[in-house]
């Protein structure tokens, strides 16, 4: 549950509901939640709670994606403070985010934008003007990532500080330099999340998949190099890296 402090707390608000939406589980699906007064909830209960506390003042990438996944025809919604939102309003707030203050190198913001654009192809969430704006946002992100690449195999964790991208949201930290040094796990985090972003890019965005080959090779070598105890300590970069490498090997 979002407001419970616990070792089993989800990493990002509404991340678990988004995973349930990915699996296309219906609203009526029952969920057993241990350690809570009721014990049993439905996805419908969780979605009602999500809408009631929806806000663009905190990390809301998964919350917005959940709404679009479960009810893409929703024209507008309001939270418990009677603040009104639409997909247009929310996504424009999303692309203003300072990615230096966002989790996982800001990649989740880009991935959410790309996923929403895919849904827009089917459900027309946005106006043509907003579609063009989101296209420009993702194209700038891809150019910035390419321009700040540490080497052929890894993505810079501070790609968003490229002059190509800062016009979207001026970061609060200094510009990136080629001499910056990043830890292995930081590079794994940025690179694996970038590959995940590429997997959900809409058809309107072109990216040569051959550029990903050295990234897969870097991640494969990094997973082998990382001792098991460090894999547990750095579960996010380790698990995301493992996920994309295994997915590539299956294909």
pLDDT in tens, 39-93: 788 989 989 999 999 999 989 999 999 999 999 999 999 999 999 999 999 999 9
Cα 175 to Cα 25, 78, 184: the distances in Å are: 43, 38, 21
Predicted confidence at residue 146, as pLDDT, reads 94
Residue 5's pLDDT band, with cuts at 50, 70 and 90, is low
Predicted confidence at residue 1, as pLDDT, reads 47
Give the whole-number percent of the chain exceeding pLDDT 90. Answer: 64
Rounded-to-integer distance, Cα 86 and Cα 88, Å: 5
Q: Structure pTM?
A: 0.89
Taking residues 160-169, report their average pLDDT. Answer: 90
Is 6 a residue whose pLDDT tops 60?
A: no
Taking residues 140-167, report their average pLDDT. Answer: 93
Which residues is 123 bridged to in the sheet?
A: none
Is 98 a residue whose pLDDT tops 60?
A: yes
Residue 235's pLDDT band, with cuts at 50, 70 and 90, is confident
For the stretch 167-221, pLDDT in tens is 897 666 555 555 578 999 999 999 999 999 999 999 999 999 999 999 999 999 9
Taking residues 1-26, report their average pLDDT. Answer: 73
Neighbouring CB atoms inside 10 A of 213's CB total 12
Rounded-to-integer distance, Cα 58 and Cα 55, Å: 7
Predicted confidence at residue 96, as pLDDT, reads 94
Predicted confidence at residue 52, as pLDDT, reads 95
Select from 84, 63, 75, 82 the least CA-distant residue to 17.
63
Three-state SS string across the chain, please? Answer: CCCCCCCCCCCCCCHHHHHHHHCCCCCCCEEECCCCCCCEEEHHHHHHHHHHCCCCCCCCHHHHHHHHHHCCCCCCEECCCCCEECHHHHHHHHCCCCHHHCCHHHHHHHHHHHHHHHHHHHHCCCCHHHHHHHHHHHHHHHHHHHHCCCCCCCCCCCHHHCCCCCCCCCCCCCCCCCCCCCCHHHHHHHHHHHHHHHCCCCCCCCCCHHHHHHHHHHHHHHHHHCCHHHHHHCHHHHHHHHHHHHHHHHC
Taking residues 97-110, report their average pLDDT. Answer: 92
Rounded-to-integer distance, Cα 112 and Cα 65, Å: 7
Contacts of 71 (CB under 8 A, 6+ apart): none
Predicted confidence at residue 78, as pLDDT, reads 96
Q: Which residue has the higher pLDDT, 244 or 227?
A: 244
């Amino acid at each position: 549950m979002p407001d419970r402090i616990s070792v089993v707390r989800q990493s990002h608000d509404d991340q678990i509901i988004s995973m349930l939406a990915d699996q296309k589980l219906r609203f009526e699906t029952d969920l057993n939640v241990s350690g809570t007064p009721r014990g049993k909830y439905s996805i419908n209960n969780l979605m009602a709670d999500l809408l009631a506390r929806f806000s663009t003042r905190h990390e809301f990438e998964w919350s917005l994606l959940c709404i679009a996944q479960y009810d893409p025809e929703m024209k507008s919604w309001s939270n418990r403070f009677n603040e009104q939102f639409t997909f247009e309003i929310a996504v424009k707030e999303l692309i203003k985010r300072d990615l230096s203050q966002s989790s996982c190198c800001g990649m989740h913001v880009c991935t959410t934008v790309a996923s929403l654009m895919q849904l827009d192809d089917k459900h027309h969430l946005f106006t043509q003007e907003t579609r063009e704006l989101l296209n420009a946002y993702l194209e700038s992100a891809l150019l910035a990532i390419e321009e700040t690449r540490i080497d052929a195999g890894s993505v810079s964790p501070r790609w968003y500080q490229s002059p190509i991208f800062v016009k979207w949201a001026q970061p609060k930290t200094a510009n990136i330099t080629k001499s910056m040094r990043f830890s292995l796990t930081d590079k794994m985090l940025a690179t694996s999340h970038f590959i995940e972003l590429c997997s959900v890019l809409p058809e309107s965005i072109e990216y040569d998949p051959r550029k990903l080959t050295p990234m897969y090779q870097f991640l494969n070598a990094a997973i082998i190099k990382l001792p098991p105890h460090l894999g547990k300590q750095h579960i996010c970069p380790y698990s995301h890296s493992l996920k994309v490498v295994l997915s590539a090997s299956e294909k």
